Structure 1
Amino acid sequence: MIHCRAPQNDAEFIQYYQLRWQVLRAPWQQPQGSEKDELEPSAIHRMIIDEQGNVLAVGRLHIDQYWCGHIRYMATASDAQGNGYGKVVIDALEAEASQRGVKKICLNARELAVAFYEKLGYQVTGSAHVLYDEIQHFRMEKSLREAKESHSELLKQLQSTWHQTIPMSLAMGMSADYFDGQQFVTHCDVSFNKNLHNTMFAGSIYTLATLTGWGWVYLSLQTANIDADIVLAKADIKYLAPIPDVACAKVDVNKIQGDVAQLSQSNKARFTLSINLFSGDKIAATFNGAYVAIKS
């Protein structure tokens, strides 16, 4: 059985980068290390690994400040080609991009890979660079489908509520990206929220987390057709790593205590949420908040 997921430890990252180098750099006598760039810490990495721990295919997604996704470093081991692993990696990266509110994926495909990407819905938009003076690349793009219409409307409603009632959220560029009843994902503008170290300002991280928790409760109430005021009763945050680039906040239903059904028996309901803030795949901060919904 194979699994498609992010590398989980240093040993897996070593294998992940080794496969990149073997497929994409070694045949052109490039040194180890040339398979990496400065975006690795803030990127989203996916690999296919088998039960024996062998890495069979890899790929990377990076989201830029304009919230466009870029897929790079796609590679499949020579003895694993022809099994559809490349499509599995692309599907996983696109799913992650979609959950983070990305509407368009861009990539530069080697000439021999253009047909592969065309089968997955990508279109050539022009010629790109020539790698090592011999490998022609082509720019390709694909638009991602938006969330279900009902959830899309709810997300627009929430974002409008934020921006109209909390001026800081508008200045921060807060965006409600994805909601399916199981997960809720948000992000904010990159450039506005940076500090003098060129990483995300701690106050912006806290605000993003606070409003994400508030947003989950809001969406849950709206889904149940319940009107209630929402207040933050208690919160704490742990800053685990700097966020040099795009950050997103995620709420998972499995990390929530409380139910809107409480409001059918009482005028109040309490929700306790645990929220992770990510820089790429890495958890950069954890936020725990207690919110109270008071029936209108």
Structure 2
Amino acid sequence: MIECRAPKTKEEFQQYYQLRWQLLRKPWQQPEGSEQDQWESQSIHRAVFEQQQIVAVGRLHFINQYQAQIRYMAVSDAALGKGYGKLLINALEYQAQLRGARKITLEAREISVGFYQHHNYLVLAKSHLLFQQIKHFTMEKTLSPLASHLGEQARLLQNTWHSTIPMSKAMNIAISYYDGSKLATHCEPLFNKNLHNTMFAGSIYTLATLTGWGWVYLQLANNHCQGDIVLADASIKYIAPVAGVASGQTNNEVASGECAPLLKQQKARFNVEVNIYSGDKVAAKFTGKYVVIPKDE
């Protein structure tokens, strides 16, 4: 069985980093631990599992709100030629698009330039010489929107936020994905930092609240209903610091409510759960109870 997913357990992460080191550092006499950097906790990690063993690895992290970088791509010798590199890069690009990236950059080893060119990355310039031996080239790819990216209603929602809620504009809260069953949002990381260089708790709460509010807004639009959306009650659990770009996500499975009462000029109620992600990790869990008050005709 072949899987391409994030490592989940401590043992899987040990495998993941061990393969990174064996392929990308050990041949150049670099110590264990040199295969990791300061971005690990805020990154999106993907591995290809073959019979429950990791045979290929890759990582994505965000440089800013709209630009991501791929690093540490490697495929074991025994797994070469099986298309696992393609699996990895497709998975990482999807996660970048889902979180709002418009561009991906990377530093490719000379031997890998052709692989990335095959996947529509362009060489920008010669880069550094790693370990005084390995030539690198800076490469870049402009990402196309996901096929079901932003509909007109989602664009109207984003405009509504920015025109009526000053904080949303200051945070640059934006919709990165909506397909009718899933909504993903993101915001500017630098504006929302606290003294610890992680995301301010109030900004996390605001992103989660507006993601839930946005979900309700889109349900009304999809059902041709109108009403004033208010947050009646909410709770949030902060699980881990948010470093880098935060992603707010909700979907049909964790949201409930119906628009039907509005047609009878009655209040409609929605419960929406929102996860705030830092890389692969759920950093906060929000539950909001929203009430939609019918507008007077």
Calculate the TM-score normalised by the size of structure 2. Answer: 0.95
Match of 1:114 in 2: 113
1:154 match: 153
Partner SS, residue 277 of structure 1: strand
Distance 2:154 2:125 in 1: 34
Query: Is 1:155–1:177's contact at 8 Å kept on the other side of the alignment?
Result: no
Displacement of 1:150: 7.7
- The 2-side partners of 1:8 and 1:286 are apart by 19
Please give the secondary structure, in 1, of the residue aligned with 2:253: strand
Distance 2:54 2:202 in 1: 39
Q: Secondary structure at the match of 1:151?
A: coil
Stretch of structure 1 that moved more, 64-73 or 29-38: 64-73
| Number of equivalenced pairs | 295
SS of equivalent to 1:170: helix
- Structure 1: any 5+ residue segments left out of the alignment? none
Determine the structure 2 residue equivalent to 1:58: 57
Gaps (5+ residues) in structure 2? none
Deviates more, 1:264-273 or 1:75-84: 264-273
**1:44 and 2:44 aligned:** yes
Amino acid at match of 1:172: M
Amino acid at match of 1:47: A
The CA distance in 2 between the partners of 1:15 and 1:148, in whole Å, is 34
Q: Matches of residues 14-93 of structure 1 in structure 2 within 5 Å?
A: 14-51=14-51, 53-93=52-92
Partner of 1:258: 257
Separation in 2, partners of 1:70, 1:291: 37
1:265 Cα deviation after fit: 5.1
SS of equivalent residue, structure 1 residue 193: coil
Shift, 1:155, TM fit: 2.6
AA partner of residue 152 (structure 2): E
- 1:1-296 maps to which residues of 2 (within 5 A)? 1-51=1-51, 53-148=52-147, 151-264=150-263, 267-296=266-295
After superposition, what is the alpha-carbon deviation per residue over 1:59-116, rounded to whole angstroms, capped at 9, x for unaligned?
A: 0000122420100000111111110001001100111111111111111111111111
Scaled by the length of structure 1, the TM-score of the pair is 0.95
- When residues 141 and 221 of structure 1 are mapped into structure 2, their CA distance, relative to the original with a 3 A threshold, is same
CA spacing shift, 1:237–1:115, aligned 2, 3 Å: same
Q: Secondary structure at the match of 1:222?
A: helix
State the alpha-carbon separation in 2 of the partners of residues 4 and 43 from structure 1.
16
Superposed CA RMSD in Å reads 1.5
- Aligned CA distance change for structure 1 residues 150 and 25 (closer, same or farther; 3 Å): closer
**Equivalent-residue separation in structure 2 for 1:67 and 1:123 (angstroms):** 18
SS in 1 for 2:71: strand
Secondary structure at the aligned position of 1:79 is classed as helix
Does the Cα contact within 8 Å between 2:65 and 2:100 map onto a contact in 1?
A: no
CA drift at 1:260: 3.0
Closer/same/farther in 2, CA of residues 185 and 217 from structure 1, 3 Å limit: same
